Structure 1
Amino acid sequence: MGLRANPTQRQRRLGLELRRLRNECGLSAAEAGAFAGLGSPHLGHIEAGRTAIPEAKLRALLTAYGCQDETLVEGLVAMSGSTGKGWWSDYRQSPLKDSIRDLAELESTAVAHRSFQWMYVPGLLQTPEYVRALIAGGEVDATPGELDTYVEFRLKRQEVLTGDPPPVFHAVIHEAAFHMQFVDTEIMRGQIEHLVEMARLPNIHIQLLPFRTSLSPATPATPFVLLEAEAPELNTVYVQHPVSSAFLEDQAHLTQYGTAFERLSAAALPPIDPVPEQESYKRSDSLRLVQHLLYTL
């Protein structure tokens, strides 16, 4: 079997976790490979995500590494055994970047999404009209057919929120996102109303971060999504950047962005509640800000 020339994010992550576990227990590649009948070069290719590892050999390695966390073990086995095929596979010949397909695969397996945006509404909460306006403004050289593909792909990603079971989705959106002028008033109105409807789903929590807060919208400086797995060690941060978005997996970054999201959530208004308590008009919350935004459009 030939080596993978371009491993997916899942394949790279599996290899990185195996290398991390090996390094933590102090084994060399040759010593670790001996436990599973693997040569040092073969194990190196596995740790680089360039080739697969059978389940029996994977479990042998994890035993050698002293990994006794069953949730982590089963998470790694699932990553290894996955074919990586899903609806996103139909877009391999499309103009979409590999990283976007990798993101869709990660979203499909995450048990929770923590999203922060300060310029746009999060992708999984966007209306079709908002998606088209946003992408048309960013992909100015895209042909009509390519634009259709970009919009279609983003709308397909959104289906994860109503899956069985659906992930928990928690978004903090800065008020600035609703004052952007790349969409007309009616599109923005429809987008805001859509957020209220989505907030009716029990797995979706949407908070607005108002202008009147001591927390800078540029802290952190870029939008991000923290994708949580059953095993916290397998969480991933997707940091959005117009030039090159990035997947971050090391524990330092996971802690950094997890803490950042907690701070943002604490500073934001309480979540949108489409069925507020009778006395809700006496307090400031995300629904009241949403109503204000609709009124001023």
Structure 2
Amino acid sequence: MPPRNAPTARQIRLGAELRKLRERAGLTAAEAAARLGTERPKISNIETGRFGVSADRVRALARAYHCADEALIDALVGMTGERRRHHWWEEYRGVVPNGFLDLAEFEHNAVKLRTVQTATLPGLLQTVDHARALFQQTAPPLPPHEVEHRISHRIKRQVVLFREDPTEYTAIIHEAALRMQFGGRAVTRAQLDHILAMGERDHVTIHALPFEAGAFPAPGQTIGYSIGPVPQLDTVQLDHIHGPVFLDAPAQLETYRSVLDRMEALALKPEESRDFIREIARSL
């Protein structure tokens, strides 16, 4: 099997987790290769996501590394199957930036999703008109057809909230983001009504963070947190002008979990948040 030219973030993550297991076992790539009867470059290519890896190979690596964490092993085995399936976001490969595809894949596989938004509204809660107003302000400007592709991709991401077994989703939204009038008053009012409607779903929790709450951690930062089947496979996603950035180091995960917990403690409860958002919508 030839090496992949552009592994996805999830494929890279699988390789990175296998590398962590090897390093915890105190083995070099050459030593691991010798135990498995293969060559060192193959181990290196697996760990960078450039080579695919089967479920049997993952279990063989885990045995070689003396990993007894069955929950983690099962989760890693589950990641191997994703590369053989054609998911909806593959239709957008070469059409939207690869980081957007990686984001959709992490959301698709998450057990739970949490987000903090301080200047913009969560992508999973955006209406078509709101998303269009955002993408029309991209710098440098996007051609109209690229704007439509990005809108389509963003709306399709929302399937995780509507599928038969929807993902549990918690969004903490600052008042600044709620009051931003992207697309004008009518678009903003419809967008807030949509957020209120989504908040009525059992698996969606909306927290509003009013100005009067004062200071909060990581101001100005948009944070997405995908909770994996085991804590080791959690992923943080940060928005930047050049696209999403993904973090998964244990210290980083702990930091952002703490930020999310503190933000949620500062925010209004869901019932209070609904009243707060309704008042903003009425004022438009």
Q: Same fold (TM over 0.5)?
A: yes
How big is the shift at 1:166? Answer: 1.1
Alignment of structure 1 residues 110-121 onto 2, 5 Å: 110-121=110-121
Unpaired runs of 5+ residues, structure 1, are: 274-284
How big is the shift at 1:62? Answer: 0.6
Question: Where does residue 253 of structure 2 map in the other structure?
Answer: 254
Question: Where does residue 88 of structure 2 map in the other structure?
Answer: 87
- Is the contact made by 1:116 and 1:261 (CA closer than 8 Å) also made in structure 2? yes
Question: Where does residue 28 of structure 2 map in the other structure?
Answer: 28
CA RMSD of aligned residues (A): 1.5
Separation in 2, partners of 1:70, 1:201: 34
Provide runs of 4+ in structure 1 moved above 4 Å.
Answer: none
Separation in 1, partners of 2:156, 2:119: 22
Unpaired runs of 5+ residues, structure 2, are: none
Separation in 1, partners of 2:170, 2:277: 17
- Is the contact made by 2:100 and 2:244 (CA closer than 8 Å) also made in structure 1? no
Question: Where does residue 124 of structure 2 map in the other structure?
Answer: 124
- Is the contact made by 2:181 and 2:188 (CA closer than 8 Å) also made in structure 1? no
Alignment of structure 1 residues 79-158 onto 2, 5 Å: 79-83=79-83, 85-94=86-95, 96-138=96-138, 141-158=141-158
DSSP-derived class of the 1:85 partner: coil
Amino acid at match of 2:166: P
How big is the shift at 1:242? Answer: 1.0
Separation in 2, partners of 1:109, 1:71: 16
- Is the contact made by 2:112 and 2:169 (CA closer than 8 Å) also made in structure 1? yes
Question: Where does residue 69 of structure 2 map in the other structure?
Answer: 69
DSSP-derived class of the 2:156 partner: helix
How big is the shift at 1:202? Answer: 0.7
Separation in 1, partners of 2:257, 2:34: 37
How big is the shift at 1:157? Answer: 0.6
Separation in 2, partners of 1:214, 1:143: 40
Question: Where does residue 10 of structure 2 map in the other structure?
Answer: 10
Separation in 2, partners of 1:42, 1:140: 41
Question: Where does residue 290 of structure 1 map in the other structure?
Answer: 277
Separation in 1, partners of 2:197, 2:2: 49
1:226 equivalent in alignment to 2:225: yes
TM-score (norm 2): 0.95
Alignment of structure 1 residues 203-218 onto 2, 5 Å: 203-216=203-216
How big is the shift at 1:31? Answer: 2.1
Separation in 1, partners of 2:125, 2:196: 10
Separation in 1, partners of 2:244, 2:196: 29
DSSP-derived class of the 1:230 partner: coil
- Is the contact made by 2:227 and 2:234 (CA closer than 8 Å) also made in structure 1? yes
TM-score (norm 1): 0.91
Question: Where does residue 263 of structure 1 map in the other structure?
Answer: 262
Q: How many pairs were matched up? A: 283
Alignment of structure 1 residues 164-179 onto 2, 5 Å: 164-179=164-179
Separation in 1, partners of 2:21, 2:214: 40
DSSP-derived class of the 2:261 partner: helix
DSSP-derived class of the 1:137 partner: coil
Separation in 2, partners of 1:92, 1:28: 35
My pick for the range that moved more, 10-19 or 80-89, is 80-89
DSSP-derived class of the 1:212 partner: helix
Question: Where does residue 278 of structure 1 map in the other structure?
Answer: none
Separation in 1, partners of 2:156, 2:181: 26
- Is the contact made by 1:192 and 1:290 (CA closer than 8 Å) also made in structure 2? yes
**What is the percentage of aligned positions where both structures have the same residue?**
37
How big is the shift at 1:292? Answer: 1.6
My pick for the range that moved more, 22-31 or 186-195, is 22-31
Alignment of structure 1 residues 184-199 onto 2, 5 Å: 184-199=184-199
